[in-house]
């Protein structure tokens, strides 16, 4: 891996074309640590990166921590592995671990946590004479913990606190590790109702994530916004018969980050610098409110910033699962458009899931991305050892 590929990664979340398209209306939103937006688990990844309101599982920390009080198990832990941009390089990957524990006599409370480590591979750094100096390993890390509680029979809420660190240091004095803190606020509601003769499950959820500080990689001279995001989703689970269940889900996302103002044809160097400085001086909280109506193209461009995904999951006997989904991002905002496919198996002790991504946009390096996840039910393991 070299610096050119590292630069490509920072342009957008894995979309090489976004670095080179020069259309006048092309205006993606730059954020720090784009890896925080990557779906870490194979279940959500197999349904088009969906999880705000899907049935709760051990991977819920990334999507909506408020789902944990509704999960059937008492405790669980899971691991996920995703090779990233595998069509370009072989040493970029995402490692993810999550877990939860429900407590209290009424099982209304849950504590959950996750650790995300995004490796950007090894980079050989040379001297001015183009001689080998050292090898560095830039990476991004996020550690979080959440508390969730069922507030009514059908609704729960959650708060997540997160520590974030990014180290892109190459041995010089220009780049320093960046640190940031953020929080998530989430809610989830699930209720049953009759569709014909069958009792269906309707889920609704939201998650406002990465509300926090900005992050700097140059000792505080400049700073970037974290990928604050609003995710809203709904799902419908319908039992076809006692052993067969079909679920349909929808997620809608919008980055809560200010949109860069585009240059004008007659802009002077001073005006350009002022425009850049004005963007830099926006606070992280102020940026969240500003992002709701600051697109240069007005309401039309604001709607272009909305990303959506559709997903479906078929389950047999609550053991075997087959999934598919579609993710859509506007071509002027990053052009991430892809289909996904997945499958899973679960027992009383563990669950294993796999997902595969197929790009719907030309020359997309995300094509053929594979995700693997493995989860364990702590209660099942405990019963086995008795």
Q: Are 209 and 229 in contact (CB under 8 A)?
A: yes
Residue 209's CB is within 10 A of a number of other CB atoms, namely 27
Q: Are 278 and 212 in contact (CB under 8 A)?
A: no
What's the sign of the alpha-carbon dihedral 215, 218, 221, 224? negative
Q: Is residue 203's pLDDT more than 90?
A: yes
What is the rounded distance in angstroms from the CA atom of residue 23 to the CA atom of residue 269? Answer: 21
Chain position carrying tokens 């598919």: 324
What is the rounded distance in angstroms from the CA atom of residue 386 to the CA atom of residue 384? Answer: 6
* 3-state helix vs strand vs coil in the chain, percent to 5: 15, 45, 40
Measured in whole angstroms, the distance separating CA 231 from the mean position of its chain's CA atoms is 10
Residue 137: predicted pLDDT? 77
Q: H helices of the chain, where?
A: 3-11, 42-46, 60-63, 269-280, 284-290, 299-304, 378-385
pLDDT tens column, 144-166: 999 999 999 999 999 999 999 99
pLDDT tens column, 56-96: 999 999 999 999 999 988 999 999 999 887 777 777 899 99
Confidence of residue 188 (pLDDT cuts 50, 70, 90): very high
Q: Is residue 185's pLDDT more than 70?
A: yes
Residue 376: predicted pLDDT? 93
Q: Is residue 360's pLDDT more than 90?
A: no
CA distances from 98 to 37, 76, 326 (A): 16, 8, 25
Q: Is residue 8's pLDDT more than 60?
A: no
Residue 173: predicted pLDDT? 60
pLDDT tens column, 308-322: 999 999 999 999 999
Closest CA to 80 of 48, 47, 117, 53: 117
DSSP state of 224: B
Name the residue range of residue 12's domain: 3-21+29-385
Q: Rounding to the nearest 10 degrees, give the CA dihedral for residues 46, 70, 183, 84.
A: -20
Task: Count structural domains, the chain.
Answer: 1
Q: Is residue 133's pLDDT more than 80?
A: no
DSSP state of 41: S
* Ramachandran class of 104: left when φ > 0, alpha when ψ lies in -120 to 50, beta otherwise: left
CATH at residue 190: 2.40.160.40
């Amino acid at each position: 891996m070299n610096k050119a590929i590292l630069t490509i990664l920072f342009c957008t979340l894995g979309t090489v074309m976004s670095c080179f398209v020069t259309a006048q209306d092309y205006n993606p939103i730059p954020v720090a640590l784009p890896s925080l937006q990557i779906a870490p688990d194979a279940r959500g990844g197999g349904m088009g990166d969906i999880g705000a309101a899907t049935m709760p599982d051990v991977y819920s920390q990334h999507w909506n921590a408020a789902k944990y009080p509704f999960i059937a198990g008492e405790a669980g832990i899971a691991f996920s592995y995703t090779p990233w941009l595998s069509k370009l390089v072989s040493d970029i990957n995402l490692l993810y671990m999550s877990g939860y524990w429900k407590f209290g006599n009424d099982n209304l409370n849950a504590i959950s946590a996750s650790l995300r480590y995004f490796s950007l591979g090894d980079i050989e750094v040379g001297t001015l004479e183009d001689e080998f100096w050292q090898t560095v390993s830039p990476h991004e890390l996020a550690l979080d913990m959440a508390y969730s509680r069922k507030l009514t029979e059908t609704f729960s809420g959650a708060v997540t606190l997160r520590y974030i660190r990014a180290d892109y240091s190459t041995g010089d004095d220009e780049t320093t590790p960046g640190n940031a803190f953020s929080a998530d606020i989430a809610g989830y509601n699930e209720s049953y109702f009759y569709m014909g003769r069958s009792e269906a499950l309707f889920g609704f959820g939201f998650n406002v994530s990465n509300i926090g500080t900005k992050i700097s990689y140059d000792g505080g001279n400049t700073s970037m916004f974290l990928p604050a995001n609003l995710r809203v989703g709904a799902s419908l689970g319908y039992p076809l018969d006692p052993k067969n269940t079909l679920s349909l889900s929808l997620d809608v996302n919008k980055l809560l980050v200010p949109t860069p103002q585009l240059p004008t044809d007659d802009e002077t160097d001073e005006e350009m610098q002022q425009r850049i400085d004005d963007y830099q001086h926006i606070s992280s909280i102020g940026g969240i409110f500003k992002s709701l109506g600051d697109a240069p193209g007005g309401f039309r461009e604001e709607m272009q910033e909305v990303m959506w995904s559709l997903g479906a999951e078929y389950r047999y006997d609550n053991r075997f699962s087959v999934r598919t989904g579609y993710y859509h991002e506007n071509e002027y905002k990053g052009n991430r458009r892809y289909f996904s496919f997945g499958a899973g198996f679960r027992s009383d002790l563990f669950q294993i899931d796999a997902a595969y991504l197929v790009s719907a946009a030309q020359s997309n390096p995300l094509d053929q991305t594979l995700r693997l996840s493995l989860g364990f039910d702590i209660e099942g393991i405990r019963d086995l050892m008795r």
